[in-house]
Amino acid sequence: MSKPIYELVDELPKGGLTVSALKSLDFVVPGQWNNLVGFDNTIRTVTGETDESLIQQIGERAVALFNDKSQGYQRALWLYETVDSAAGLLGTAALANRIGQDSFFGFLKNLTPKPEKAQSIDLCVKLVTELVAFCQINGIPGDSIGDFLSALADYSGESLMRMVALISFDGLIPLGPDFTNLALSRVKGMSPSELEHNQTFKGVRELIPGGHAAGQLAFITESFESTKGWMDNFVSSKGLTQMGLVNNLTKFIEVSGDKLDYLGAFLDVSVKYYRHTGIQTLVRRLTERAVAEI
């Protein structure tokens, strides 16, 4: 990895577009996510410890666990980082000089909305990325769909917020209220070669179970189909709507509700919620395991 885990969490932003976008989703799961940054701060918050020597001991054990390549933590981080950068790759270069400005309208002239099919594939691939990263963190086979579905019922904190962001920013806002049916029909109707041309899939395919494009497409389809009920129930139980999400976004970021296709592209390029919450999830899990072992 390019940086040690303590540096990655120390460098997480306290503000900016990603944090603002995630804060706009607090109304969906009130109080579930606070932007926990800083390695020592995370250890103190997760454990409630105040003893400096014990905090250091926990930190050292957490770093050792992360650095152990026989564990899945580095692979999970790679997935979280890669799926974000791959999904926003096409527009990133054009927008590099504008990132950090909390204005939607400045982005419009450089953005092209994704075709519905590409957006649908992205949604399915991102969901599978969450499943595989979950398996890596928990040391279970990467194709354990059943274990992931069971765990979803207990998702909380930054992990739950990541799923809320997936449903909102990659599902409801760009694809509309029928996003799960739309995405599933699109992915069922595609060929392995079409999948191979998708930028997001190309970024993470190395760790997607299936062995080859046809097998990976089958695994992506099965994973999405298995998780569809959870997503539909979540949207229904929370009363989530496309405009409700957009209206909350406008409290944090200057956006326009009449250009939802562009808004989806804007979120894709500038909101790196997988990496941000993924690092937070990793440090929490590492801390919990370190404490248990100490």
Count of residues in the chain: 294
Residue tagged 């097998």 (tokens): 215
| Other beta carbons within 10 Å of 118 | 18
At 177 the pLDDT is: 94
pTM, full prediction = 0.90
Phi, psi of 103 (to 5 degrees): -130, 130
Q: What percent of the chain has pLDDT over 90?
A: 70
CA distance linking residue 28 with residue 25, whole number of Å: 6
CA distance linking residue 204 with residue 195, whole number of Å: 12
- Count how many Cα atoms sit within 13 Å of the Cα of residue 126 in the half-sphere of its side chain: 30
Q: Which of 38-42, 63-67, 255-259 has the lowest mean pLDDT?
A: 255-259
Per residue in 85-95, pLDDT (tens digit) is 876 654 444 34
Mean of per-residue pLDDT scores for the chain = 87
At 249 the pLDDT is: 87
Q: What percent of the chain has pLDDT over 70?
A: 87
Q: What number is the average pLDDT over the span 8-12?
A: 95
At 107 the pLDDT is: 52
Per residue in 235-277, pLDDT (tens digit) is 999 999 999 998 888 887 776 656 666 677 778 778 899 999 9
Three-state SS for the chain is CCCCHHHHHHCCCCCCHHHHHHHCCCCCCCCCCCCCCCHHHHHHHHHCCCCHHHHHHHHHHHHHHHHCCCCCHHHHHHHHHHHHHHHCHHHHHHHCCCCCCCECHHHHCCCCCCCHHHHHHHHHHHHHHHHHHHHHHHCCCCCCHHHHHHHHCCCCHHHHHHHHHHHHHHHHHHHCCCHHHHHHHHHHCCCHHHHHCCHHHHHHHHHCCCCCHHHHHHHHHHHHHHHHHHHHHHHHHHCCCHHHHHHHHCCCCECCCCCHHHHHHHHHHHCCHHHHHHHHHHHHHHHHHHHHHC
CA distance linking residue 96 with residue 156, whole number of Å: 33
Per residue in 131-150, pLDDT (tens digit) is 999 999 999 887 889 999 99
Per residue in 180-238, pLDDT (tens digit) is 999 999 999 999 999 998 888 999 999 999 999 999 999 999 999 999 999 999 999 99
CA distance linking residue 278 with residue 159, whole number of Å: 7
| CB-CB contact of 119 with 174 (8 Å) | yes
At 95 the pLDDT is: 44
CA distance linking residue 220 with residue 243, whole number of Å: 29
At 168 the pLDDT is: 96
Chain centroid to CA 118: 17
For residue 112, is pLDDT > 80?
A: no
CA distance linking residue 284 with residue 294, whole number of Å: 15
At 102 the pLDDT is: 44
At 86 the pLDDT is: 75
**Tokens describing residue 168:** 């909102």
Q: Which of 14-23, 60-69, 92-101, 254-263 has the lowest mean pLDDT?
A: 92-101
At 110 the pLDDT is: 55
Greatest mean pLDDT range, 79-83, 90-94, 277-281:
277-281
Beta-bridged to residue 254, according to DSSP, are 103
For residue 97, is pLDDT > 70?
A: no
Q: Give buried/exposed letters for 72-97 (b at 16+ CB in 10 A, else e).
A: bbbbbbbbbbbbbebbbebbeeebee
